[in-house]
Amino acid sequence: MPRNIPVLFVQEKTLAMAYEKALLTLYTQGCRMKTQYDKPNDPPSIDASMNITTWEPWSDPMIHKAFPGGIEDLKEYSMELFGAKDHWVKNMNDAGDTRWEYTYHGRLSGYGSWKEKKNGSCADIGPFKINQIDKVVDKLCAQPFTRQAQMITWMPNIDFDCYDPPCLQSLWYRLLEDERGTYWLNCNVRFRSNDAWGANFMNMFGFTQFNRRIIADRVQERVGKTVELGRMNWHADSWHIYGKDIEEAKQRLFDRLDDMTFEERTYNFHNDFIQEMYDGAETMVVKKIAEYDRTH
């Protein structure tokens, strides 16, 4: 019987290339493990600790077609990371409130607080409230080579007893300047648990958008120098394909690698048609959020 969970490493140029290679590496080298979410007849998951480095996360081909979603879903997730669903967080002292216990953007922009009903209305409660996004941007603008530009999500007072605590644990940033004076935003992302088939690509794509729009663009505007996206290093303590999803992953990807070219398995995000779909999905997402607000 194996004693050690594998530690796997993947490096590729673009998101789509890195995602596919990491999935194949996990499929062939991961170990079989149970999870606390398995149903009685589910086979074990395929699991490993995974480190994925994407050298050019803003380059094409960026989007892999095998992820279980569409262009509209990528737009919705990116908007979620920008804060569009922060108001979906539940009232923590209302047992009947079944909304989310947190959002990533909420933890990053308001760390230390949570929502509770007080004096008849729901308000942010907590010993402090820190906008870590602002702090990181301030740090990078003041000292690009700082090693202190990081954000965290884990709140031990809540998350040890949370049914679905944050998978994202931290984001770390540092700027490297090239010979032309351009800054390159390097990022380390750490997840404690990451669903490789059901969520990871959307996570990686979303945080690439977050790094571009929420971090790099703000730093660029303030320092007056070009800021591009450098490498993104993605570490997951548990990077897994759930047992219930293995057959789908085989049918949609692993069993088709010899029958399709890589170009047929991917999209170029900067393609005019894909970009139009992505940008155009915002109206649909806004309506979807408004409908949820109306019914909840």
Give tens-digit pLDDT for 94-150. 777 777 889 999 999 999 987 776 665 666 777 889 999 999 999 999 999 999 999
The pLDDT assigned to 162 comes to 86
The pLDDT assigned to 121 comes to 62
**pTM for the predicted model, two decimal places:** 0.95
Compute the half-sphere exposure of residue 7: CA atoms within 13 Å on the CB side of its CA: 3
The pLDDT assigned to 122 comes to 64
Residuewise pLDDT in 10s, the chain (296 residues): 679 999 999 999 999 999 999 999 999 999 999 999 899 999 999 999 999 999 999 999 999 999 999 999 999 999 999 999 999 987 777 777 777 889 999 999 999 987 776 665 666 777 889 999 999 999 999 999 999 999 999 999 999 988 889 999 999 999 999 999 999 999 999 999 999 999 999 999 999 999 999 999 999 999 999 999 999 999 999 999 999 999 999 999 999 999 999 999 999 999 999 999 999 999 999 999 999 999 87
Q: What structural domains does the chain harbor?
A: 7-85+129-150+163-295 (3.30.572.10)
